[in-house]
Amino acid sequence: MEGPLWTERHQPDIADLPQEGVRENLRRAVQEPMNLVVHGPKGAGKTAAVRALARETHENQNDLIELNIADFFNRTKREIREDPRFESFLEGETEFSKQYRSGSKENRYKREWSKRDMVSHILKEMAGYPPSSGEYKTLLLDNAEEIREDFQQALRRVMEQYYEATQFVIATRQPSALIPPIRSRCFPVPVRAPAQAEVVEVLGSITEAEGVDSDEDGLAYVAEAAEGDLRRAVLNTQTTHEQEGAVTMQAAYETLQSVGVDERVGEMLAAAEAGEFTDARSTLDDLLVDEGYSGGEVLEDVLTVARSRYGETKLARLHRLAGGVDMDLHEGTNDRLHVSHLLAEIGELADGRE
């Protein structure tokens, strides 16, 4: 896609959210700050709702910290340690590391911590520092269905310790996967899959703001094809406009019928760029298992789609990364593992767009 993604450029405010119940719950959280569990299906708008809440409550947007659980639990200790968002927390001497070493017979240092120790320390550091403005900051833990119970116990302790400085918001597709002590500390905000009429209304607002020619039949076709996934509907609308110059019934039909694998790869890249690695890997699994593509074929499509998303510098970096992945794939090892590693690297490439 050319230029910024519409999902990023047209993030809604609370008043723009299509579901009245969600608007009411978030307005209550503005008036009375509290921990939240925002739950609902993929693409329903959970992350967008939390960002809308943060814009309403924080003068400085640095007071919204977003962590995708896959950033921890689908990565090795080395990958976590080398992540630029976390490396400063895992270097040098801190009170936490002193306590850790003093209580250990093996006198272990940070490099030898377990993943649970690393995650607990990062959460404490992020939750513990003061907000940039106002009385508290918001820490969003996205895709929380990935958290194992022992890690949830560590999260519970962090929530208990830093409740005055930090509002914890947990976004998940499976609230039942959270342990009772966490659920009891959070107000539930259910987000259902949007109805087709709600999706059409959102798409109409975006196309109007973009000055894009569209008609109701075209928007309805895109909305129906998205099957309740609002993010997918917005991305497909942008794709239709860029390929056909308008969002009419015929244009939408031609685009969505021809996009094929490129559309799926585009969704996978968008998820990786947003740090939503669970969604990105889910799409990868669909391509490798359900559709029967090889890792090499997916890698080739990733590079094809990336040419319309990145500037020369980022594209060159992506090609260098892809070269290493291609060598690994030719060795006949796990296709999913190597392409998944590339998706994690793509998340780091997406800090800005050239």
Please, what is the Cα angle at 26 between 203 and 63, to 5 degrees? Answer: 95
Report if residue 9 sits inside a domain. no
Do 26 and 77 lie in a common domain?
A: yes
Do 28 and 66 lie in a common domain?
A: yes
* pLDDT confidence of residue 282: 87
Do 181 and 105 lie in a common domain?
A: yes
Report if residue 171 sits inside a domain. yes
Three-class DSSP category at 173: coil
Q: Rounded mean pLDDT of 261-267?
A: 79
What is the span of the domain harbouring residue 57? 19-190
Do 38 and 115 lie in a common domain?
A: yes
Most confident of 33-37, 229-233, 338-342: 33-37
Do 239 and 277 lie in a common domain?
A: no
Do 107 and 228 lie in a common domain?
A: no
- The values of phi and psi at residue 94, to 5°, are -130, 165
Do 30 and 177 lie in a common domain?
A: yes
Instruction: Select from 217, 240, 259 the last residue of a domain.
Output: 259
* pLDDT confidence of residue 93: 56
Confidence of residue 228 (pLDDT cuts 50, 70, 90): confident
Give the DSSP H or E segment for 199. Answer: helix 196-210
Ramachandran sector of residue 46 (left: φ over 0; alpha: ψ -120 to 50; beta: rest): alpha
The count of domains in the chain is 3
Do 66 and 209 lie in a common domain?
A: no
Do 88 and 163 lie in a common domain?
A: yes
Task: Give the DSSP letter string of 315-347.
Answer: HHHHHHHHHHHHHHHHTT--HHHHHHHHHHHHH
Query: With contact defined as beta carbons under 8 Å apart, do 279 and 271 qualify?
Result: yes
Do 136 and 92 lie in a common domain?
A: yes
Q: What CATH number should be reported for the domain holding residue 309?
A: 1.20.272.10
* pLDDT confidence of residue 351: 52
Please, what is the Cα angle at 137 between 78 and 87, to 5 degrees? Answer: 15
Q: Rounded mean pLDDT of 311-320?
A: 83
Is residue 70 scored above 80 in pLDDT? no
Do 48 and 180 lie in a common domain?
A: yes
* pLDDT confidence of residue 94: 52
Q: Rounded mean pLDDT of 114-137?
A: 87
What is the DSSP code (8-state) at residue 68? E
Q: How far is CA 287 from CA 71, 167, 261, 280, in A?
A: 22, 38, 8, 11
Instruction: Select from 190, 218, 247 the last residue of a domain.
Output: 190
98 against 280, higher pLDDT: 280
The percentage of the chain sitting over the pLDDT mark of 70, rounded to a whole number, equals: 90
Report if residue 124 sits inside a domain. yes
Do 248 and 332 lie in a common domain?
A: no
